[in-house]
Structure 1
Amino acid sequence: MTPIANPVLELTRALIKRRSLTPDDAGCCELIAERLRGLGFTLEYIDAGGVTNLWATRGCGAPMLILAGHTDVVPTGPLEDWDSDPFEPTIRNGLLYGRGAADMKSGLAAMVCAAERFLARREPRGTLAFLITSDEEGAARHGTRHAVEVLRSRGIRPHYAIVGEATAAARLGDRIVIGRRGSLGCNLRVLGRQGHVAYPDKADNPIHRLAPALAELVATRWDEGNAHFPPTSFQISNLHSGTGANNVIPGHADLIFNFRFCTESTAEDLKTRVTEILNRHGLRYEADWWLSGEPFLTRDGELIQAAQASIADITGQTPTLFTGGGTSDARFLAAWGAQTVEIGPVNDSIHKVNEHVAIADLMPLSMIYERILDRLL
Structure 2
Amino acid sequence: MPLTDPIPLAQDLIRCPSVTPADHGALDVVQRFLESLGFQCSRLVFGPDEWRVDNLFAMKGGGASPHFMYCGHTDVVPPGDPAHWTDDPFSGVVREGWLYGRGSNDMKGGVASFLAGLKDYIAAHPDHPGTISVLITGDEEARSVDGVARVMPWLAERDLVPDMALVGEPSSARNVGDVIRIGRRGSLTARITVQGKQGHSAMPARADNPVHRLMAALTPLLAAPLDQGTEFFPPSTLQITGFDVGNTAANVIPATARAMLNIRFNDLHTRASLIERLNAALTAAGCRYEMQADSNADPFLTEPGPFVDALQRAIRRTTGEEPELNAGGGTSDARFIRAFCPVAEFGDIGATGHQVDERAGVENLRTLSRVYTAILEECLA
TM-score category (smaller protein)? over 0.9
RMSD of the TM alignment (CA)?
2.0
1:220-259 residue pairs with structure 2 within 5 A?
A: 220-259=224-263
> Structure 1-normalised TM-score?
0.93
Query: CA shift at 1:355, angstroms?
Result: 1.1
CA distance in 2, matches of 1:182, 1:127: 31
How far does the alpha carbon of each residue in 1:197-222 deviate from its partner, in whole angstroms, 9 at most, with x for none? 34445533211221221122223543
Cα distance in 1 for partners of 2:248, 2:159 equals: 57
User: How far does the alpha carbon of each residue in 1:2-28 deviate from its partner, in whole angstroms, 9 at most, with x for none?
Assistant: x99853111100000000112222221
- Structure 2 residue 112 is the aligned partner of structure 1 residue 114: no
The answer to which of 367-376 and 187-196 deviates more is 187-196
5 Å matches for 1:163-174? 163-174=167-178
Corresponding residue SS for 1:137: coil
Kindly provide the CA deviation profile for residues 7-62 of structure 1, in whole angstroms up to 9, marking residues without a partner as x: 31111000000001122222211211122222232222232221112111111222
Among 102, 107, 117, the residue aligned to 1:99? 102
Q: Residue type of the partner of 2:252? A: V
C-alpha deviation, 1:73, in angstroms: 1.1
The change in CA–CA distance for 1:204 and 1:328 in structure 2 (over 3 A counts) is same
1:55-74 to 2 correspondence within 5 Å? 55-59=57-61, 60-74=63-77
Task: Give the C-alpha shift of residue 137 in structure 1.
Answer: 1.2
Pick the aligned partner of 1:151 from 152, 155, 159: 155
2:11 is aligned, of 13, 19, 24, to 13
Query: Cα gap change, 1:229/1:40 in structure 2, threshold over 3 Å: closer, same or farther?
Result: same
Q: Which of these residues, 24, 33, 36, is aligned with residue 35 of structure 1?
A: 33
Q: Equivalent residue for 2:44? A: 46
Deviation at 1:153, TM superposition (A): 4.2
**1:217–1:304 CA distance, 2 compared to 1 (3 A):** same
Judge conservation of contact 1:242–1:249 (CA < 8 Å) in 2: no
Three-state SS of the structure 2 residue aligned to 1:321 is strand
Given that 1:311 and 1:319 are in contact with CA atoms closer than 8 Å, whether structure 2 keeps it comes out as yes
In the alignment, the residues of structure 2 paired with residue 350 and residue 257 of structure 1 have an alpha-carbon distance, to the nearest angstrom, of: 23
Tell me if structure 2 keeps the 8 A contact 1:296–1:335. no
Name the SS for the 1:53 alignment partner: strand
Which residue pairs with 1:214 in the alignment?
A: 218
Q: CA deviation at 1:194?
A: 2.7
State the 1:163 CA deviation. Answer: 1.2
Matched, 1:348 2:346: no
Counting matched residue pairs gives 374
Give 2:59's aligned amino acid: T
More deviation in 85-94 or 237-246? Answer: 237-246
Runs of 5+ unmatched residues, structure 2: none
Give, in angstroms, the shift of residue 80 of structure 1. Answer: 2.0
Match of 2:367 in 1: 364
* More displaced stretch, 342-351 vs 120-129: 120-129
2: CA distance, partners of 1:83 / 1:12: 19
Quote the Cα distance in structure 1 between the aligned partners of 2:39 and 2:70. 13
Superposed counterparts of 1:121-136, under 5 Å = 121-136=125-140
Alpha-carbon distance in structure 1 between the residues aligned to 2:150 and 2:3: 37
Cα distance, 1:172 vs. partner?
Answer: 1.5
Matched residue SS, 1:324? coil
Specify which of 189, 192, 195 is matched with residue 191 of structure 1: 195
**CA deviation profile, 1:164-185 (whole Å, cap 9, x unmatched):** 1112212211221222211111
Residue 289 (structure 1) aligned to one of 289, 293, 296? 293
CA–CA separation in structure 1 for the residues paired with 2:259 and 2:200:
23
Contact 1:242–1:248 (8 Å) recurs in 2: no
5+ residue gaps in structure 1? Answer: none
The one-letter code of the counterpart of 2:138 is: S
Taking the aligned partners of 2:33 and 2:348, their CA distance within structure 1 comes to 22
The residue matched to 1:286 in structure 2 has which SS?
strand
Q: In the TM superposition, what whole-angstrom CA distance separates every residue of 1:51-86 from its partner, at most 9, and x where no partner exists?
A: 112111111222221101111111212222211111
Instruction: Report Cα offsets for 1:129-153 as digits up to 9, x if no partner.
Output: 1111111111212221222233334
8 A Cα contact 1:223 1:265, kept in partner: no
User: 2 CA distance for matches of 1:103 and 1:209?
Assistant: 41
Partner of 2:321: 317
Q: How far 1:155 moved relative to its partner?
A: 4.5
8 Å CA contact 2:348–2:364 kept in 1: the answer is yes
1:23 touches 1:72 (CA, 8 Å); kept in 2? yes
Contact 2:190 2:293 in 1 (8 A): yes
Partner of 1:138: 142
Instruction: Give distance in 1, aligned partners of 2:9 and 2:136.
Output: 15
Q: Is 1:330 aligned to 2:334, yes or no? A: yes
The residue aligned with 1:89 is 92
